[in-house]
Amino acid sequence: MDKQALRERIWNDLEERGIARFPFPPHGRIPNFAGASEAAARLTDQPEWIGAATIKANPDAPQLPVRRAALRAGKTVYMAVPRLADEQCFLRLDPDELEDYDAATTVSGSDEYGTRVAPADVESIDLIVSGSVAVTEDGDRVGKGEGYSDLEYAILRELALVDDETTVATTIHERQLVGPDDEATAAAHDVSMDLIVTPEAARRPAGGEQPSGIDWKRLEDERLEEMPVLQRLDE
């Protein structure tokens, strides 16, 4: 099954079964789902979470409970600026500098209350939490198709802020976990999930080898022009 066909199947399934939650429709995005808070709570029980001081999280709705839990646990949260369209392309949410964690962890609030920082000013990341449309039992992730999550990882890897020991986790609904018959082929630049957490269970697939950095041959000139951080790293 190709990735887009798998995305469409998952989006339709979540919508038809009444699992999808605001924002609607689930199509074209990292879908929010019933049980997202329960999945976040299960993640906070995992040793990878407990031992992490700094977390890089995606800004999507299903991971909002994860971001809030991180600040309440005293963890620093980093989020990428949309489309990496700024040389200071990460937002830092420091729990010691914030008063309203609920407001600061929304998409609009993170930009208002967070501090924009360049990648060189990001601390070493202990745990990455990614949003997913689907994840295979082997840990292969399918996102919404724009490639920014993998590129964010590649930038952090390029700067030695993450490495092979950095756990990459995702929180999803059980319906987003797909078996061997539905697996979509993973590319070399795709980031594998080391920890898959649903409201019902936490799984640790064997996973594949993580990308070692930016694959400059894959980047189009248009993307380099749109993302000052890539121009700086290229120089």
- pTM for the whole structure: 0.94
**Over 80: is that where the pLDDT of 14 sits?**
yes
Q: How many C-beta neighbours within 10 Å does residue 66 have?
A: 29
As a whole number of angstroms, the distance between CA 2 and CA 200 comes to: 27
Quote the mean pLDDT of the chain: 92
Average pLDDT for residues 162-170, to the nearest whole number? 96
Q: Confidence band (pLDDT; 50, 70, 90) for 31?
A: very high
**Over 80: is that where the pLDDT of 189 sits?**
no
Q: What is the pLDDT of residue 21?
A: 98
Q: What is the pLDDT of residue 183?
A: 64
**Over 80: is that where the pLDDT of 88 sits?**
yes
Average pLDDT for residues 216-228, to the nearest whole number? 77
What are 60-84's pLDDT values in tens digits? 999 999 999 999 999 999 999 988 8
Structural domains in the chain plus CATH codes: 3-234 (3.40.50.10420)
User: Which one, of 60, 16, 27, lies nearest residue 175 by Cα?
Assistant: 16
Average pLDDT for residues 16-25, to the nearest whole number? 98
- Contact call for residues 153 and 163 (beta carbons, < 8 A): no
Average pLDDT for residues 156-161, to the nearest whole number? 94
As a whole number of angstroms, the distance between CA 33 and CA 22 comes to: 8
Q: Percent of the chain scored above 90 by pLDDT?
A: 77
